[in-house]
Each structure stands twice: as C-alpha cells, then as structure tokens.
Amino acid sequence: MQYRTLGRTGVQVSTLVLGAMNFGRIGNTTQAEATAIVDAALEAGINLIDTADAYSGGQSEEMVGKAIAGRRNDVVLATKATLPMGDERNQRGGSRRWLVTALENSLRRLGVDHVDLYQMHRWDPTTSDDETLSALTDLQRAGKIRYVGSSTFPAYRIVQAQWAAREGRLSRYVTEQPSYSILQRGIETHVLPATQEYGMGVLAWSPLASGWLSGAIRAGQDISTNRAGFMQQRYDISIPANRAKLDAVEQLATVADEADLSMIQLALGFVTAHPGVTSAIIGPRTMDHLRSHLAAADTVLPADVLDAIDAIVAPGVDLAAHEK
C-alpha cells in the first residue's frame, strides 16, 4: 500500500480508500460481510474509510461503526451530510440548523465522539458559504470533527468557498471528493487545477466508472452488475453515451492486456497517477471485489500506458457528462 499526505493537513492516508456506500441495502451487504471487508482492508494497509449519512438511510454508518469498534484510532474516519435524510424539508442541506443535528446523528450511528473528515456531500445552493462554514467551524472547535471537506463541487464553488473561509476567518474545505475515472475526465479541466491551487486533498469516487472499468462489462456480454439492476439508463447500450463508453472499454482492455494488467489495475492506477489526486475510493460489495481492488494497490502506470489511455479518452473529456 502507498500513502500520501491528505492535502496540507499532515495526515497520511492510503492511496486506496474503503468506500462504504455498498454497506447495507444499497449493495445487499450484511454486517458480517461488511466487517470482514473492513478487517481485510485494514490488514492490507487501507487506513481511510469513507461513508455518508445518506447511504442506505444511515445503515452504512451503523455498519461501519460496528466494524471499527475497538480500533477507532486505527482509522481515518470520513462521513458526509447535506443529502435528504427524510421527508421533512429541513432534514437536508447545509444550514447550521441541519448540520448540527446531522452530525450528532452520524456520531451516534458510528458510535464515536468525533469524525476525522466531515464532508458536504453536495453544494447546497440555498445556503450561503458563510452559514455552512461558520457551523462547521464551531463543530470543529467543539472537537466533533477534525477537518471539513466538499464533495462533487464545481470548480467555481470550490473557489468561492475558499474565499469565504479566508474572508470570514472560518475553517476551509481541505479536501474535495469528485467523480473521476478514465471515462469521466472532465475534472482535469477545472476542478483539479482549483484543488491544486488551494492545496486540497482529492479523494476520487467512482474510479471504476460504476463498474464499466471493472472488467465485468464487455462487448457481446449481458451486463449483470449490481448497479445495472437499478440504474438501467446508465447501462443501456442503445444510448449513444453508453455505446461510446463500451467502445472505449474495448480499446482499454487491449491496452491492459498488452501491459499485463487487469482492467481494475489500469483504472485505479490511472486515477492515482494524477498529481492532483490523493486517493481513489473503492466500494467493494464482496470480499472478491476487495481482493481484486487490493491487487492494484501498488500499481504505477508507465508513461506509454498513460499515453495510450489519452489516445482513447482525451484529457478533460467526459464520455457521459450528463451523469455528473
């Protein structure tokens, strides 16, 4: 396992992060399976676990909490807020009213007294940066969070939040969590230059492009991944964007074969090769998934392989921008 500094925080984190979105009903992963995955991930050297209150309505946080019980200090623990957590209109967003409550709920579900990284799951256009950052600053000073981060913010919002923090002398976002993969490279144009400018750590989610780069999706085969069952539009080959992704996958498979790499090694190695990226978030549903991801933990792609990838999907290009 490789380790890098998370932005300018001084915290050392593994280049693979264990994402827990599939823990619970989203991925049909039981507590026993989740605990086994956490055990194996920590044994392999992964030290950052990422979850969110919205994952299976809080079930993921509960399962992570049980899995890390008794070894809290071994884990850099990250969770998120802002996505809806109920039908009531104020159980969402970035207001002080909600964030104070949302964090208390997350701490209770996780069974801890603080989280290391508390991330705004999405930008809330109805709430000012001053309001959100002021609340997060107070929660940080209360010792309930160590650092704050953003997730899937457009570049201009990243910059605006940094300015708001500086002008208000508030805690700033020290990390950003964007979607990034060989098939979705749009953040290279604006987001990654902004995060590099402000010294932010970057934790890339969906590095396998929702399974497209796992090796399980190939031309002439039925698509039977778990997500294809409830996100059919993203895997319908009659849709032009999906055909473009499949064409790219077939070319990438040739590149991987010639380099003696699995598709997963190619995909994860690509994401962690970018100098602006700290870590790639993996989201295994099973132990077999985890093992295949861990096989890429020390993958470093040579320049000729990176050039071959650029020739298939150009830098800064999203093959399915509408999905973001």
50-to-20, 57, 87, 191, 278 alpha-carbon distances in Å = 6, 15, 25, 21, 14
**What's the rounded Cα separation, in Å, for the pair 92 and 109?**
17
Query: What SS3 class is residue 12?
Result: strand
Report phi then psi at 47, rounded to 5.
Answer: -125, 5
**What's the rounded Cα separation, in Å, for the pair 121 and 306?**
30
* Residues 191/178, Cβ–Cβ less than 8 Å: yes
55 is catalytic: yes
Q: Which residues of 79-109 are buried (b: 16+ CB within 10 A; e: fewer)?
A: bbbbbebeeeeeebbbbeebbbebbebbbeb
**What's the rounded Cα separation, in Å, for the pair 323 and 39?**
33
The two three-digit tokens of residue 120, written as one number: 């705004």
233-to-135, 285, 291 alpha-carbon distances in Å = 38, 21, 29
Nearest CA to 285 out of 211, 204, 217, 207 is that of: 211
Catalytic residue among 55, 118, 180, 235: 55
Residues annotated as catalytic are 55
